[in-house]
Each structure stands twice: as C-alpha cells, then as structure tokens.
Amino acid sequence: MNTFIDIFTDYGDSKFVILPVPFDTTTSLVPGTRFGPGALLSASRGLEYYDMDTGERVTHRIYTMPEDEPPLEPEKMVGWVENKVDNILKDDKFPILLGGEHTITLGVVNPILERYREPVILVFDAHYDLRDAYGGFRVSHATVMRRVSEKMPVYFYGQRVASQEELIYLRGNKNLFTGIDGLKGRKVYVSVDLDVLDPSVCPSVSNPEPGGLSFEGLLNVLKNVFDLNDVIGFDIVELQPVNNPFYGAYTAAVLLKKMIMMKQGRLNG
C-alpha cells in the first residue's frame, strides 16, 4: 500500500488523515488526475522528514487511507467523499484530500458545515470553476466552486483566466471574495488546485495556464492563512502525472508536507 513518506501508523493514533480520491470522470482537457494521489504518495518517499521553513518534523501522526476508487458518477462520488470526511471529522481528526479533479472538494462542504460555525473555503486556482454547467455536468471540475458557493463563502486566490459568465456571477454574488484581505480568525478549509502554480513549477496538471504563482509565492500566502486563521482541512487537487516529468508529482508532495507542517506548528504552538 502507498502511504505518505512510507509511514505506516494506526488510524487511532493519528491526527492527520490523508484521503486519496482518484476521480477524473469530468476532466475536459488532459485526463489522468485519477493517477494523481498514487503519484504524489510515491513521490513523497523522496521527502525529508524535517522541514526547514517551519522547523517542524514529520511525525507518525499521519494516516494514509487506502486508494479506494470512488464511484464514477460525480454526484455519487461527492456522497462517497462526504461519508468519509464526516467520519474523519467525527473522530476529531484533520482531513486532507488528494485529487483527482477539483470536483472532489464539493464532498467536504456538508461535513464541515455540520461541524463548524460559519466556515469558509479558500481556493487557490488558475480558474474560478464558477460555470453553472459544463460538458453536460452540473457537478464537474468547471462548476465546483459555483456549487460550493451556493452553500458557503468562497475566497479566491491566483485566478488568471475566466469566462465572461463566470466574472458576471462573481461580481454579483455576496458569497464570493477575491484575495485574502479580511480573512482573519475564521475557520478556513483550503483547496489548492495545483494549476495555481506556474506550469514551469508544476507542469503536471489537467489545465496548465501560464503566468502562475512561484512555489515560494504560494507558500508565503499559505503561511499567512495558517497563522491568522484556524485551518480545518485542506485538499491538493488536479495532479495529472501521466507522461509528465517526475518533479510535478514531487512538487505536490513537498507542498503536502509543508502544509501539514504549517498545521502541526499551529497545533503544537
């Protein structure tokens, strides 16, 4: 079985629970994100346990769930994710989802709304994913934040391409925010679509878009968010490792480690 940095630990002893969601049914450009969780976990074997940025060290409190395949139908996949995240939260653990396409994020919405008061979601992404329907799907990677915003506030960071329809919806909607000003003291779920990074940093995505963030740029914003808010879970999605250089999956693995270390530092400090 593929686990984060080859850590084998008991679920009961863990604080962090990694849930692989190998799902890419609605992917439109380059399919293969269903191989993302496996590629990230394999690449994570190359990681150092120590993290120079935070001074934290990876401990054995990180449990990786098996790479079970979710249902192929988007709505059923969302229910599958909801059920698993619900259980992770009920066990007082910190959920981390690995995609798979961005659609999987929709599965965390109902569980966190049930558990937390007025949570928000912060989305790092080159795209808004605010279409009402796409390719015949109302639940898809291109509509996911529209569906999320129907239930809770969404903060956007790093977007650089949009349809006119999406921008009109964005401007007229009280549940949608751009940038992280004003995001302080909140319960925040963080969703990272790897295409927020420049393709030179992480080419292994379904919809690469030039002009993205540097790795350091993303880390700096994340550090702020983890420092100023109570991060209640996160996901890393859209890793598409097929026929891409290894460093894409490895970059995603480094990001995963650093985000866990940021949260661990808050829990310990």
Contacting residues toward Mn ion, per CB under 5 A: 125-127, 193, 195
The least CB distance from residue 236 to Mn ion, in Å, is: 12
The nearer residue to Mn ion, 180 or 239, going by C-beta atoms, is 239
The nearer residue to Mn ion, 188 or 239, going by C-beta atoms, is 239
The nearer residue to Mn ion, 108 or 142, going by C-beta atoms, is 142
* Residues 99/107, Cβ–Cβ less than 8 Å: no
DSSP classification of residue 269: -
Nearest to 148 by CA among 134, 167, 128: 128
The nearer residue to Mn ion, 3 or 159, going by C-beta atoms, is 159
Burial 235-247 (b: 16+ CB within 10 A, else e): bbbbbbbeebeee
The nearer residue to Mn ion, 193 or 198, going by C-beta atoms, is 193
Crossing angle (nearest 10°) for helices 215-228 and 246-268: 20
DSSP string over 132-196: S-BTTBSSSTTTHHHHHHTTS-EEEES-----HHHHHHHHT-TTEEESSTT--S-EEEEEEEGGG
Please name the helix (run of DSSP H) or strand (run of DSSP E) that holds residue 268, with its range, or none: helix 246-268
Report residue 176 CA to chain centroid gap: 18
The least CB distance from residue 193 to Mn ion, in Å, is: 4
The nearer residue to Mn ion, 46 or 210, going by C-beta atoms, is 210
The least CB distance from residue 127 to Mn ion, in Å, is: 4
The nearer residue to Mn ion, 195 or 198, going by C-beta atoms, is 195
Closest residue to Mn ion in the complex (CB): 127
The least CB distance from residue 188 to Mn ion, in Å, is: 19
Residue 128 neighbours by CB distance under 10 Å: 24
Task: Provide the token pair at 95.
Answer: 């959920």
Nearest to 211 by CA among 223, 200, 222, 227: 200
The least CB distance from residue 125 to Mn ion, in Å, is: 4
The nearer residue to Mn ion, 58 or 144, going by C-beta atoms, is 144
Report residue 201 CA to chain centroid gap: 17
DSSP string over 35-86: GHHHHHHHHGGG--SB-TTT--B--S-EEE---PPPPSSHHHHHHHHHHHHH
The least CB distance from residue 51 to Mn ion, in Å, is: 26
The least CB distance from residue 156 to Mn ion, in Å, is: 11
The least CB distance from residue 102 to Mn ion, in Å, is: 6
